[in-house]
Amino acid sequence: MIVTIDPDSPLPPYEQLRIAIRRLVATGEIPVGSRLPTVRRLAADLGVAPGTVGRAFRELEREGIIESRGRHGTHIKSAPRPPEAAERKRRIRDAAHAYVAVAAELALDPETAIAMVRQALDR
């Protein structure tokens, strides 16, 4: 499993990890039924605290993507379902409005704000 945590990202490390695992499962790079590394092992590999990995795993378990099998480890339970088109549009619209509000609060000019979105998309 190839996952990296960007310390400069505005997203907290647990959220970066949750999104990365979700994406790897959705694309089939981690097949359903696969066993994930232990929390401690993955934390050491990523250079983050075990609590960070634990939180990402708890979030993924709530989503039904992974399941803990006690001594037998944590496994991929199912692939995430993509949100419906209307839900995707609503979520991205809400995020865009929130971004514009923050940019306005910081007196960021539109060209710079758009350039920053492009940089984020290129990551």
| pTM (whole model) above 0.85 | no
Q: Per-residue pLDDT for the chain (123 aa), expressed as one digit of tens each?
A: 789 999 988 899 999 999 999 999 999 999 999 999 999 999 999 999 999 999 999 999 999 999 999 899 999 999 887 777 888 888 889 999 999 999 999 999 999 999 999 998 887
Residue 114, in any domain of the structure: yes
The torsion angles phi and psi of 61, rounded to 5 degrees, stand at -70, -40
Angle at 122 (CA atoms; ends 44, 8), nearest 5 degrees: 40
Domain region containing 50? 13-76
Q: Are residues 21 and 51 in the same domain?
A: yes
Residue 37, in any domain of the structure: yes
Q: Are residues 71 and 93 in the same domain?
A: no
Predicted local confidence at residue 87, as pLDDT? 80
Q: Are residues 67 and 89 in the same domain?
A: no
Predicted local confidence at residue 61, as pLDDT? 95
Domain count, the chain: 2
Residue 89, in any domain of the structure: yes
Q: Are residues 95 and 69 in the same domain?
A: no
Q: Are residues 41 and 61 in the same domain?
A: yes
Compute CA 25 distance to the chain's CA centroid, rounded to the nearest angstrom: 12
Residue 57, in any domain of the structure: yes
Predicted local confidence at residue 52, as pLDDT? 97
Residue 35, in any domain of the structure: yes
Residue 5, in any domain of the structure: no
Map residue 66 onto helix, strand or coil: strand
Q: Are residues 39 and 67 in the same domain?
A: yes
3-state helix, strand, coil in the chain (%, to 5): 60, 5, 35
Instruction: Return the DSSP state at 9.
Output: S
Kindly tell me the burial class for residue 108, based on how many C-beta atoms sit within 10 Å of its own C-beta (0-12, 13-18, 19 or more): middle
